[in-house]
Structure 1
Amino acid sequence: MASPRLETFCCPNRDAATEFVVTFQPVLFGALTLGSAALSLMFAVLQILPKRKGYRRLGQYPLPRPASSSRILFIISICDILGCAGVIIRSSVWLGLPSIIDGISVTNNTDVLPEVFCVGSAMWIQLFFSASFWWTFCYAVDVFLVVKTSAGISTIVLYHMITWGLAVLLCVEGVAMLYYPSISDCEQGLQHAVPHYITTYAPMLLVLIANPIFFSRTTSAVTSLLKGRQGIYTENERRLATEIKIRFFKIMLVFFVCWAPNLINESLLFYLEMQADISDSSLRDIRNASLTTWFIMGILNPMQAFLNTLAFHGWTGLDVDLSLQRTRELAWDSGSTSVPNVAGQNSVVGTTLLYQSHIQEAQKIGNGQQHSDAISVLSEGNRPSSVASRSLVYQGW
């Protein structure tokens, strides 16, 4: 799981609330987080691997570069997978070598290995999950800009600079404030730990607040583009708009389910910290609630890796293709249901990989096709419903 409490736990003079949750049934908690992270990592990797079923050979078509939104979704999955790997390593060591935890609890301990491992593993997990938050925010910004400007060109390098720069900066700054003047002698008090918690939860809150706004405005813009393309709003276009809404809803639902327990748990623990004695009988319900959300966090935080791939692509199947020829193939995502073709109308166009070169080519042709490209970027991941729709994609529709 990704919680600043685990970094606070690396201080021997940790606060009572952190000591209470981290030391409660550590073996059971470690086993749950290890199992959740291992399953999530395994299925997430399986999801993003190329599949044999559903592939179509391009023949004379070369392999262009994927659209920025496709690459952003892939990077989010990689960040989640790396975060899960950190959870697996930390939980495995804590379960297999309980002396590591005991060494952290000893004040003025000369053995620095327990504290170094504690801090290193916690920073690894926070860094990659924080990067995942920033990339999720960039995805919302990217799809909004593509649809709003009908340009379809996004600077992926700029996104890299923003996400990794902010993730590293906030992680290092928060940890430096927390472990001042040293890991073995951290300063005590809420005012000392608050900057660390802010740097951890700021990107999470940004996604929870800003992404629904961007997704809502993007959906409204998509509806306008669909109506303005031919002056009519057909059933197929209505279905496409609905699929885009569902896609955005699933992304936000996964994020809320996986990370809302963190906010609830942190609020409860802060309330306990402000009490003179957290073992008071009047605080029994608060303690139980904090422990419950703590275990829920341990299960749901790592599951974001797998659940995100389901939200992005649907279930892609088990038929993995590891052959070298896969680079000559274009994946049609099998996660969404196909839309029947209606005579005289263009069927819903969507692919797992929508390529930036198509969008750039469309810019040379006209605004109508620019609008189509912008919408196609959002509908990527939906299976094309007919041969005619595939040919439109090939032609840069």
Structure 2
Amino acid sequence: MADPTMQTFCCHRTASVGAHNSSDVIGRIMMEFNTDAYNIVCMFASGLGIFGAVYQILPRRQYANCHRLTSVSAARVRKIIVWLAVADLLAALGMFVRALLWLNTKTIMPAINDNSSVLFCALSSAWTQYFYTATWIWTLCYALDMRRILADRDANTRNYHLVAWTIPAVTTLSGLSMLYLPDASCQTTQLLTTAIIHILPNYLATYLPMLTVMIANPLLYGSSMKGMEREVTSSYGQLTRRERDVMDAFRIKFAVINIVFYICWLPNLINAVLLWCLWFHLPVRVIITIWYIMAFTNPLQALFNCLVYRRWSKGSEQVAIPWCRSPRSKSNNTTTKKEPISKEEKYPLLAKSSTSPSFNGKYT
């Protein structure tokens, strides 16, 4: 999972910390924490995430049209979805490998004075943190691009890549540098001021991008829906039933995307609030339960994304496996010219078909 708490476990341990003294907070947690069960949950969820990400990356074969299979907007958002899946894949893969090695060593904390374990733990945590942060930024870019599509603006693909890969690098590097430098001894910190200086910046660097997406995406999707309704009303004076159905489909799709993001990452925020607010009276069993939830929901983001970002209408697309030829492709190639262009194909997020002529090409 992408959580700063686990990253503090990568620090060097002294003999007093390694003894799991009952007066030590980390020691009390580790005495009740079943690391084998935790790693198995991580591997299972990460495996599902890897499957979902690979499925999302595979090319799609779209039907009902031939020479106008996909609109410009559908192609634009498809590129963003693929890059989101790539980041999800690499993050889930990092979690899977780390959990596998931790399961083999029977612990998630480095041995006392073991520099190689500290280095592996820190690098694997940085890998996972970087790519999960990238998924959050790509999620935000998707919402921004939908807003730009509905405002009839061109894509900013280069800027999306710049932001989506640079911001995670800055936040991950700055947060983990404050945590580990100069000697990766954050677990020996006793003073509250020292903990705030070394540990709190990593929490902020981790959760500020996540909070930004949680706040900004619902606002962007709400603004997109209002803009669409204004455009249709001003152009045609009224909303027909089919137009309302189309906008309801958009509204449901946007809501599900937001709900999935909250399901995957809200436990991390709850964990951080509990740790910083109740550190001296920490509910250990509650914290451990939240860790299991995070280990399950964080990597499942990739699987959920392959479900919510796909086109929901039945038969509108099919995964194009390179070494297989779909028997449906021939029949579609021979009949497409006679078929009218389905308006459904012009909506990248459409859940219901609509043949209403009221929507102009601005949304396609």
2:87–2:135: 8 Å Cα contact kept in structure 1?
A: yes
CA drift of 1:113 comes to 2.1
1:245 pairs with one of 235, 246, 251:
251
**2:11 equivalent in structure 1:** 11
Task: Give distance in 2, aligned partners of 1:265 and 1:388.
Answer: 47
**2:164 equivalent in structure 1:** 163
**1:357 equivalent in structure 2:** none
Does the alignment pair 1:305 with 2:302?
A: yes
The change in CA–CA distance for 1:135 and 1:179 in structure 2 (over 3 A counts) is same
**2:224 equivalent in structure 1:** 218
**Correspondence list, 1:264-283, <5 A:** 264-273=270-279, 275=280
1:350 pairs with one of 344, 347, 352:
344
The change in CA–CA distance for 1:71 and 1:78 in structure 2 (over 3 A counts) is same
1:9–1:22: 8 Å Cα contact kept in structure 2?
A: no
Matched position secondary structure for 2:298: helix
**Correspondence list, 1:171-250, <5 A:** 171-183=172-184, 188=189, 189-191=194-196, 192-250=198-256
Q: In the TM superposition, what whole-angstrom CA distance separates every residue of 1:19-46 from its partner, at most 9, and x where no partner exists?
A: 5546610000000111111022213323
Q: In the TM superposition, what whole-angstrom CA distance separates every residue of 1:155-200 from its partner, at most 9, and x where no partner exists?
A: 1001111121111011011111101212257772321201111000
Q: Alignment RMSD, CA only?
A: 3.5
Matched position secondary structure for 1:313: coil
Q: In the TM superposition, what whole-angstrom CA distance separates every residue of 1:197-225 from its partner, at most 9, and x where no partner exists?
A: 10000110001111111111111111112
CA drift of 1:80 comes to 1.2
2:126–2:172: 8 Å Cα contact kept in structure 1?
A: yes
1:84–1:125: 8 Å Cα contact kept in structure 2?
A: yes
Higher RCO (CA-CA < 8 Å; seq separation 6+): 2
Task: Give distance in 1, aligned partners of 2:344 and 2:70.
Answer: 19
TM-score (norm 1): 0.74
Higher mean C-alpha deviation, range 128-137 or range 41-50: 41-50
**2:260 equivalent in structure 1:** 254
The change in CA–CA distance for 1:7 and 1:71 in structure 2 (over 3 A counts) is same
Task: Give distance in 2, aligned partners of 1:143 and 1:296.
Answer: 31
1:142 pairs with one of 142, 145, 150:
145
**How many positions carry a matched residue from both structures?**
335
The one-letter code sitting in structure 2 at the alignment partner of 1:92 is L
What percentage of residue pairs aligned between the two structures are identical?
29
**1:2 equivalent in structure 2:** 2
2:56–2:85: 8 Å Cα contact kept in structure 1?
A: no
Task: Give distance in 1, aligned partners of 2:234 and 2:96.
Answer: 50
The one-letter code sitting in structure 2 at the alignment partner of 1:323 is P
Structure 1 segments unaligned to the other structure (5+ residues): 331-345, 352-375
Structure 2 segments unaligned to the other structure (5+ residues): 18-23, 330-339
